[in-house]
Amino acid sequence: MTQIKNIGVFTSGGDAPGMNAAIRAVVRAAMYYGIEVTGIRRGYDGMGKGEFVPMNRKSVSNIIQRGGTILKTARCDNFRTPEGRKNAYEQLVKNKVDALVAIGGDGTFTGAKVFGSEYDIPVVGLPGTIDNDLVGTDFTIGYDTAINTVVDAVDKIRDTAESHDRLFIVEVMGRDSGLIALRTGIATGAEAILIPESKTGLEGLFNRLEFGRKDKTSRIVIVAEGDDTAGGAFEVGRLVQEKFPNYDTRISILGHIQRGGAPSCMDRVLASRVGAAAVEALRDGHRNEMIGLINGEIAYTPFEHAIKHHQGIDPNMIKLVEMLSM
Ligand code: F6P
């Protein structure tokens, strides 16, 4: 067992619903084991600037249900430099922080991996991103809430699409992953999905519009923001309008609403489980690993593997969209 006295916890990169539940779990589990916790505000940026706050049981009361992150978050260029990381390490030493829990996505873990190799401080990570694009966990914290937000929004778009007999191109987030588009496409009965992992989306959509059922009164196409077959929802919309002027086409970019809102039950439970497991992992001597959940079991994945992008897309799921939207 490793003797850890003070865990620093921080959130970094894009926020995700459930990050607060993860912070709460880290703080409460650490207290349970008699370990102090220091909150680091604004991710790596705040670490370098010494934005440290002592945390206790009370500081995480009433946050499990809140979206965003009470510790705030940032994307930090300075931490990419050796000088930036040196500053950060000096701040940790000064504040007697002897282990870290980093909550974020691939950028966060890329930083953690380099930091952990340069300085003798154990760092473990929790998967916090709506994109679900990490290896080593079935789902990331925030993904479930985000896809439910998308489904709710697209259901509303469907109402107006149906009233006006329109075709909507809806763009969802995910950076270079199509996992948000894939699941929400199935759940909203989309006509087609366009995702970076499949290059046949545009062609499939055109075929469908040309040769498919003509009695449909509304159509929804989900485009992942990272899809480059056409260059985003506006370009897809332009091409559709050009080729099929009879379709009354509209574009909707859902944007940052996908990152907000109260975390779903699934995200709260996931965050609570991996948050507590992160503290136990540090006590057991783990370092440079992301703590995820695979088939309901806690899983430890080295940072360099976790950031190798998502688990891949099941072609059967893509087929499902086509098969069921006939
Ligand atoms: O990684 C989460 C995410 O929401 C991506 O889906 C999106 O590409 C990106 O962050 C947007 O980042 P920002 O809020 O910095 O514009």
Alpha carbon nearest to ligand 1 atom 7, residue: 175
Cβ atoms within 10 Å, residue 94: 10
- Residue in 109, 130, 184 to alter for ligand 1 test, most ligand atoms within 8 A of Cβ: 130
pLDDT in tens, 37-67: 999 999 999 999 999 999 999 999 999 999 9
Average pLDDT along the chain: 96
Residue 201: predicted pLDDT? 81
- Residues 315, 40 contacting (CB under 8 angstroms): no
Whole-prediction pTM value?
A: 0.97
Residue 311: predicted pLDDT? 64
pLDDT in tens, 233-254: 999 999 999 999 999 999 999 9
Instruction: Indicate if ligand 1 lies below 6 Å from the C-beta of 12.
Output: no
Residue 176: predicted pLDDT? 92
pLDDT at residue 2 tops 90: no
Residue 216: predicted pLDDT? 93
| Percent of the chain's residues with pLDDT above 90 | 90
Residue 325: predicted pLDDT? 86
pLDDT at residue 156 tops 70: yes
Alpha carbon nearest to ligand 1 atom 12, residue: 14
The angle subtended at Cα 96 by Cα 107 and Cα 106, nearest 5°, is: 10
pLDDT at residue 200 tops 80: no
Q: What mean pLDDT do residues 185-198 have?
A: 95
Of the candidates 256, 305, 269, the residue with the CA atom closest to the CA atom of residue 125: 305
Q: Is 138 a catalytic residue?
A: no
Residue 38: predicted pLDDT? 98
Instruction: Indicate if ligand 1 lies below 6 Å from the C-beta of 259.
Output: yes
> Given pLDDT bands bounded at 50, 70 and 90, which one contains residue 131?
very high
pLDDT at residue 310 tops 80: no
Q: What mean pLDDT do residues 181-189 have?
A: 97
- Residues 182, 317 contacting (CB under 8 angstroms): yes
| Residue 79 or 200, more confident | 79
pLDDT in tens, 264-308: 999 999 999 999 999 999 999 999 999 999 999 999 999 999 998
Cα(267)–Cα(246) distance, integer angstroms: 42
Cα(235)–Cα(218) distance, integer angstroms: 20
Instruction: Indicate if ligand 1 lies below 6 Å from the C-beta of 129.
Output: yes
pLDDT in tens, 19-29: 999 999 999 99
Query: Environment class of residue 18 by beta-carbon count within 10 Å: exposed (0-12), middle (13-18) or buried (19+)?
Result: buried
Q: What mean pLDDT do residues 150-166 have?
A: 98
Q: Which residue of the set 131, 133, 144, 227 is catalytic?
A: 131
pLDDT in tens, 160-169: 999 999 999 9
Residue 28: predicted pLDDT? 98
| Residue 89 or 315, more confident | 89
Q: What mean pLDDT do residues 81-108 have?
A: 97
- Residues 9, 26 contacting (CB under 8 angstroms): yes
Give the lowest-confidence range in 123-127, 242-246, 315-319: 315-319
